Amino acid sequence: MRPDILNPLFAEVEALPGVGPQVAKSLKRLDITRAIDLAFHLPTGTIERVRAPEASAALIGRIVVLELTPFETRQGGRGPMRVFTSDRDGNTITLVYFNNPGWAKKQLPLGETKTVAGRLDAYGDEWQIVHPEVLGAGKAADLPLREPVYPLTEGIANRRMRELAIAGVDRAPDLPEWIEPSVLSRHGWRDWRSSLAEAHSEPLANDVRNRLAYDEIFANQLVLLLLRQASRRKRTKPLQGDGRLTGKLQLPYSLTGAQRRVTEEIRGDMAQSSPMLRLLQGDVGSGKTLVALLAMLSAVEAGAQAALLAPTEILARQHHATLLNQVDSLGVRVAILTGREKGKARESVLMGLADGSIDILVGTHAIFQEKVGYKNLGLAVIDEQHRFGVSQRLLLSSKAEHPPHLLVMTATPIPRTLTLTQYGEMDVSRIDEMPPGRTPIETRVISDERVGDVVDGLARHIASGGQAYWVCPLVEESEKSDAAAAEARAAVLRQRFGSDKVGLVHGRMKGPEKDDVMASFASGKLALLVATTVIEVGVDVPNATLMIIEGAERFGLAQLHQLRGRVGRGEGKSTCLLLRGQQLSETGRARLALMRETNDGFRIAEEDLRLRGPGEILGTRQSGEVGFRLATPEQVAELAPIATSDAQLLLDRDGGLDGPRGQAARVCLYLFERDAAVGLLRSG
Ligand code: ADP
Ligand code: MG
């Protein structure tokens, strides 16, 4: 139960004075529904205004506050409405309105002097202000010279947003301190409530923001450590394989040193009587599947069942096919369970799991649902886990009386600090070596003006028997529009190459439909696969050696890196063409240049974190993970290690959640809504 002290903060925004359904609706677009959301809606910068008696060239580019008198309005066709005004000195300043001309006219009657504020721009000889703020004459003093600016949405102007945010802050109570005193004093941080209030006032100070970010990171780390602690306390069956299956596995190659090392780490964990919690990081193509297979076979040797969770149906089927191929002859019984297995087929899998006649189950999220009862699940492997968040991990390992050993595999190269905040409860193994004989992928960045040349090149590639991927850009935060863009691109390419040669997959397609297309591509029937990022993870078609990524600047670098990893899987030399838009920022250029320069996923991730946010790195829209609302990537990088040891200290020295500091820490968990996780731990 949420501590009573926090109730005022968690009240709906409608409970605040002057907030009606209309304002509430606008706020909801910013995900603001409660007072606390307003209190945490922090300003992003400061407006600096200049009060001036008249306009002058020296003021161009500044936010000015002037007394102006309108003398003419003009609107031609669909163009903007223009109100010509003069200042005290007789200079003409044009006020420009792209929308709401009627309102502009009413606000600015001809001949009536007004106080007008906005950015003074010069267009040739003309001075203008677009969408100015307008107040009555002589009101310049009402506009502060410096004012924090907030992220806005239609219907709420900055001044109103600021009032609302402060109304949110006014509901904040004094809270007990959860931060270790030495950390607090080392940073010179003040108490939570003062810091929150200061975060909204001028000048915007970094140290108060750091304190608020720290709280959020601390809550996150505390949950992960509690999860780790709870897991360590659990008892489960140690699994020690005798090698009778792994020894017989027929492989056309030998393990890389890194594969051997991490396999040993995993075996060591599984032989313990507390459940394994291990993250396996390895770049695309580094051979994680084989490591998972060896772990699963060890579990089977020890008399337990193993389950492999794939993020998509396509990948589940691919894993299933690979596994069947590798272990059927060993007498290991492998089954698949996804949303597509229905009726009798489903029944028989469920029976086999319950009576133990299935050794290894592969599938999508369905495999860990309540209804699926295992006889003896000893090992759960989660492949490409960024869609499998902390709370799901928690459910899996805290519910069962004897929780399974857990191995999470990810190809997303994550910077160390992010690993700490995303997987802080886990031990980490890294595959830092590629199987031998890979030819590096050549990456080129090409302006999308040259898309015609690119299609010609693609034609030559296909004519010589090659296969290729064409990845379409993310259009918006919606699978629907991504799908539409991919469909449009596929239509154009089909005209050129023929419908029977070009396949299309996107997130809006049904599983079986997608699988059919993928299967045709894998078998070589299709030469070209047009896709959204659904092909991002795992798909393996060695003959596909050309990858074209449209709108490359809109992807996160790690995402580009993963997409690129779809090629370079066979003998031939592979190429990745990054098509970029013509308007590209400096950062955009630097990011794409980095892709050209290196194939090292970890380096790309570290640099991307520097150049952009972690949301981008992980592909926020796919992460399904509760992110940070306050902490920026820089703050995470700087503060996560400190917050982690602080949280550890709370557990080890200060008596955990039940000690005096723990009581305060509980409030912090509720403040950042990490309480559900704690509830789960308790019931587990
Ligand atoms: P990922 O880590 O991206 O899941 P995979 O497990 O799909 O990588 O492996 C990529 C490819 O490398 C597969 O075709 C696999 O058979 C091959 N492979 C894995 N281990 C080795 C190895 N030790 N030597 C050579 N090839 C390997
Ligand atoms: Mg894989």
Task: Give the pLDDT of residue 242.
Answer: 94
Residue finishing a domain among 368, 396, 431: 431
Residue finishing a domain among 172, 207, 224: 172
Closest residue by Cα to atom 4, ligand 1, is: 288
Show the beta-strand stretches assigned E in 478-601.
Answer: 502-505, 528-531, 544-549, 575-580
Ligand 1 centroid from CA 561, angstroms = 17
**Measured distance CA(170)–CA(583) in Å, rounded:** 44
Residue 206: how many CB atoms within 10 A of its CB?
Answer: 10
Residues 414, 603 contacting (CB under 8 angstroms): no
**Best CA proximity match to 413, nearest among 313, 294, 290, 562:** 562
Which CATH number goes with the domain that contains 12?
1.10.150
Q: Ligand 1 pocket: which of 286, 385, 574 to mutate (most atoms <8 Å of CB)?
A: 286
User: Is residue 203 reached through a cis peptide bond, with omega within 30 degrees of 0 on the bond before it?
Assistant: yes
**Residue 537 CB-density burial (10 A; 0-12 exposed, 13-18 middle, 19+ buried):** buried
Report pLDDT digits (tens) over 230-244: 888 889 999 999 999
DSSP reduced 3-state for 311: coil
Q: Once rounded to an integer, what is the mean pLDDT over residues 611-636? A: 58
Q: Are residues 454 and 395 in the same domain?
A: no
Q: Note down the domain range covering 12.
A: 4-44+150-172
| Ligand 1 atom at minimal distance to the Cα of residue 284 | 3
**Best CA proximity match to 591, nearest among 575, 578, 576, 608:** 608
Least confident of 282-291, 355-364, 511-520: 511-520
Q: How many domains does the chain have?
A: 4
Q: Are residues 534 and 482 in the same domain?
A: yes
DSSP reduced 3-state for 356: coil
**Measured distance CA(535)–CA(540) in Å, rounded:** 10
Q: At 258, which amino acid appears?
A: A
**Measured distance CA(120)–CA(367) in Å, rounded:** 61
Q: What is the DSSP letter of 171?
A: T
DSSP reduced 3-state for 295: helix
Assigned domain for 114 exists: yes
**Best CA proximity match to 614, nearest among 416, 387, 481:** 416
Q: Are residues 405 and 457 in the same domain?
A: no
Phi-psi domain of 543 (left: phi exceeds 0; alpha: psi -120 through 50; beta: other): alpha
Q: Are residues 366 and 297 in the same domain?
A: yes
Ligand 1 centroid from CA 411, angstroms = 12
Ligand 2 centroid from CA 284, angstroms = 7
Which ligand has an atom closest to residue 566 CA? Answer: 1
Strand-pair partners of 130: 96
Assigned domain for 214 exists: no
Q: Give the residue, 571 or 383, on which the prediction is more confident.
A: 383
Q: Give the residue, 679 or 60, on which the prediction is more confident.
A: 60
Q: Are residues 449 and 371 in the same domain?
A: no
Task: Give the pLDDT of residue 480.
Answer: 60
Report pLDDT digits (tens) over 89-139: 999 999 998 877 787 888 899 999 999 999 999 998 899 999 888 999 998
- 385 falls in which pLDDT band (50, 70, 90)? low
Q: Are residues 32 and 137 in the same domain?
A: no
DSSP reduced 3-state for 118: strand
Q: Once rounded to an integer, what is the mean pLDDT over residues 485-505? A: 93
Q: Once rounded to an integer, what is the mean pLDDT over residues 178-201? A: 96
**Measured distance CA(572)–CA(543) in Å, rounded:** 8
Q: Are residues 167 and 309 in the same domain?
A: no
Assigned domain for 236 exists: no
- 566 falls in which pLDDT band (50, 70, 90)? confident
What interhelical angle do 288-301 and 313-327 show, nearest 10?
60
Residues with beta carbon inside 6 Å of ligand 1?
Answer: 253, 255-256, 259, 282, 284-290, 411, 435, 540
Residue 275 scores a pLDDT above 90 = yes
Assigned domain for 531 exists: yes
Task: Give the pLDDT of residue 169.
Answer: 97
**Best CA proximity match to 516, nearest among 507, 508, 526:** 526
User: Buried b / exposed e across 134-157, counting CB within 10 Å, b at 16+?
Assistant: bbeeeebeebeeebbebeeeeebe
Report pLDDT digits (tens) over 447-473: 999 999 999 999 999 999 999 999 987
Q: Are residues 374 and 265 in the same domain?
A: yes
User: Which residue do the tokens 């949110």 mark?
Assistant: 168
Closest residue by Cα to atom 18, ligand 1, is: 287
**Measured distance CA(447)–CA(459) in Å, rounded:** 19
Assigned domain for 182 exists: no
Ligand 2 centroid from CA 289, angstroms = 6
- 549 falls in which pLDDT band (50, 70, 90)? very high
Residues 209, 199 contacting (CB under 8 angstroms): yes
Q: Ligand 1 pocket: which of 249, 250, 251, 253 to mutate (most atoms <8 Å of CB)?
A: 253
**Residue 328 CB-density burial (10 A; 0-12 exposed, 13-18 middle, 19+ buried):** exposed
Show the beta-strand stretches assigned E in 52-91.
Answer: 63-75, 81-86
Average pLDDT of the chain to the nearest whole number? 88
Which ligand has an atom closest to residue 435 CA? Answer: 1
Which ligand has an atom closest to residue 315 CA? Answer: 2
Ligand 1 centroid from CA 251, angstroms = 11
Task: Give the pLDDT of residue 108.
Answer: 92
C-alpha dihedral sign at 345, 351, 352, 354: positive
The first and second tokens of residue 418, run together, are 């992010």
Q: Ligand 1 pocket: which of 249, 251, 259, 290 to mutate (most atoms <8 Å of CB)?
A: 290
Ligand 1 centroid from CA 244, angstroms = 23
Ligand 1 centroid from CA 438, angstroms = 11
**How many alpha carbons lie under 13 Å from residue 227 in its C-beta half-sphere?**
33
DSSP reduced 3-state for 226: helix
Which ranges in 42-117 belong to alpha helices (H)? 101-107
Q: At 295, which amino acid appears?
A: A
Which CATH number goes with the domain that contains 51?
2.40.50.140
Task: Give the pLDDT of residue 390.
Answer: 74
C-alpha dihedral sign at 47, 49, 55, 61: negative
**Measured distance CA(614)–CA(606) in Å, rounded:** 10
Q: Are residues 19 and 97 in the same domain?
A: no
Residue finishing a domain among 535, 570, 598: 598
Closest residue by Cα to atom 19, ligand 1, is: 287
Task: Give the pLDDT of residue 37.
Answer: 97
Ligand 2 centroid from CA 320, angstroms = 12
DSSP letters along 389-422, please? -HHHHHHHHHHSSSPPEEEEEE-S---HHHHHHH
Residues 509, 553 contacting (CB under 8 angstroms): no
- 367 falls in which pLDDT band (50, 70, 90)? confident
Q: Are residues 112 and 69 in the same domain?
A: yes
Which CATH number goes with the domain that contains 345?
3.40.50.300
**Measured distance CA(681)–CA(684) in Å, rounded:** 5
Q: What is the DSSP letter of 12?
A: B
| Ligand 1 atom at minimal distance to the Cα of residue 282 | 2
**Measured distance CA(306)–CA(359) in Å, rounded:** 6
Ligand 1 centroid from CA 573, angstroms = 17
Determine what percent of the chain is predicted with pLDDT higher than 70. Answer: 93
**Measured distance CA(475)–CA(551) in Å, rounded:** 9
Assigned domain for 667 exists: no
Task: Give the pLDDT of residue 509.
Answer: 83
Task: Give the pLDDT of residue 492.
Answer: 94
Assigned domain for 226 exists: no
Q: Strand pairing of 544-549 and 528-531?
A: unpaired
Assigned domain for 140 exists: yes
Residue 251: how many CB atoms within 10 A of its CB?
Answer: 9
| Helix (DSSP H) and strand (DSSP E) numbers for the chain | 24, 22
Closest residue by Cα to atom 15, ligand 1, is: 287
Task: Give the pLDDT of residue 292.
Answer: 96
**Measured distance CA(362)–CA(305) in Å, rounded:** 11
Q: Strand pairing of 92-97 and 126-130?
A: parallel
| Ligand 1 atom at minimal distance to the Cα of residue 254 | 23
Q: Ligand 1 pocket: which of 289, 293, 382, 599 to mutate (most atoms <8 Å of CB)?
A: 289
Residues 547, 576 contacting (CB under 8 angstroms): yes
Determine what percent of the chain is predicted with pLDDT higher than 90. Answer: 59
Q: Are residues 119 and 262 in the same domain?
A: no
Ligand 2 centroid from CA 518, angstroms = 16
Report pLDDT digits (tens) over 33-74: 999 999 999 999 998 999 999 999 999 999 999 999 999 999
**Best CA proximity match to 89, nearest among 120, 56, 128:** 56
**Measured distance CA(216)–CA(210) in Å, rounded:** 10
Query: Could you list which residues have their CB under 5 Å from ion ligand 2?
Result: 538
Q: Are residues 310 and 385 in the same domain?
A: yes
